[in-house]
């Protein structure tokens, strides 16, 4: 498990709480429980969001893209921190790369892994918190909703490939 405090002394588990609450809200709405939040380097919340494939019938709204949108137009993302309950998929990893987001904090990466290694190789700070709440929430959801989960990550068929 990586450190829960970053170089600036910010408690990353507190930042994760914001993303986790978004994921819980999504679950309560009947959605896929993935939440995210974008923070400034000093821990100021810029935007938070959650997967809304089900709620808005919109496949383009992943947790990270929703938090990014909620943060509005920023001129420089290099010192921002994207916090997400689940390892970012390639779509969200591409977002992080294109806009030069400086750091990614991941609740858990046991249920799914997308582009986290690619981002790290590009010099983006990647921290895995291996948070048990996030893992339990996601793995329970995947076990009971394999079709919906596969749809969300573009996997064809009913098998639950992660």
Which residues sit at the interface with its own copies, rule CB under 8 A? 53, 57-60, 65-66, 68-69, 72-78, 89-95, 97-100, 114-115, 151, 153-154, 156
CB 92 within 8 A of CB 104: no
Closer by beta carbon to its own copies, 66 or else 131: 66
Distance in Å, CB of 132 to its own copies, minimum: 26
65 or 127: whose CB is closer to its own copies? 65
- The DSSP output letter for 11 is B
For residue 16, which of 36, 34, 33, 30 has the smallest C-alpha distance?
A: 36
- Measured from the CB atom, is 33 or 131 closer to its own copies? 33
Q: Is 151 a catalytic residue?
A: no
How far apart are CB 101 and its own copies at their closest, in Å? 8
- For 31, the token pair is 């959605």
Q: How far is the CB of 77 from its own copies (least distance, A)?
A: 6
Burial of 13 (0-12, 13-18, 19+ CB in 10 A): middle
Contact 37, 10 (CB under 8 A): no
* Selected catalytic residue, list 48, 64, 108, 132: 64
Q: Report, as residue numbers or ranges, the catalytic residues.
A: 64
């Amino acid at each position: 498990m990586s450190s829960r405090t970053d170089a600036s002394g910010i408690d990353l588990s507190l930042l994760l709480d914001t993303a986790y609450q978004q994921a819980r809200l999504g679950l309560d709405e009947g959605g896929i429980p993935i939440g995210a939040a974008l923070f400034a380097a000093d821990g100021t919340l810029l935007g938070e969001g959650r997967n809304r494939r089900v709620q808005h019938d919109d496949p383009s709204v992943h947790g990270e893209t929703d938090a990014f949108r909620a943060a509005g137009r920023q001129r420089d993302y290099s010192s921002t921190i994207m916090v997400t309950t689940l390892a970012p998929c390639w779509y969200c990893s591409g977002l992080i790369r294109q806009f030069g987001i400086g750091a990614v904090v991941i609740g858990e990466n046991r249920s799914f892994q997308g582009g986290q290694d690619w981002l790290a190789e590009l010099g983006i700070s990647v921290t895995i918190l291996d948070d048990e709440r996030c893992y339990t929430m996601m793995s329970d959801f995947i076990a009971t909703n394999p079709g919906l989960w596969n749809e969300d990550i573009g996997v064809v068929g009913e098998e639950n490939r992660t």
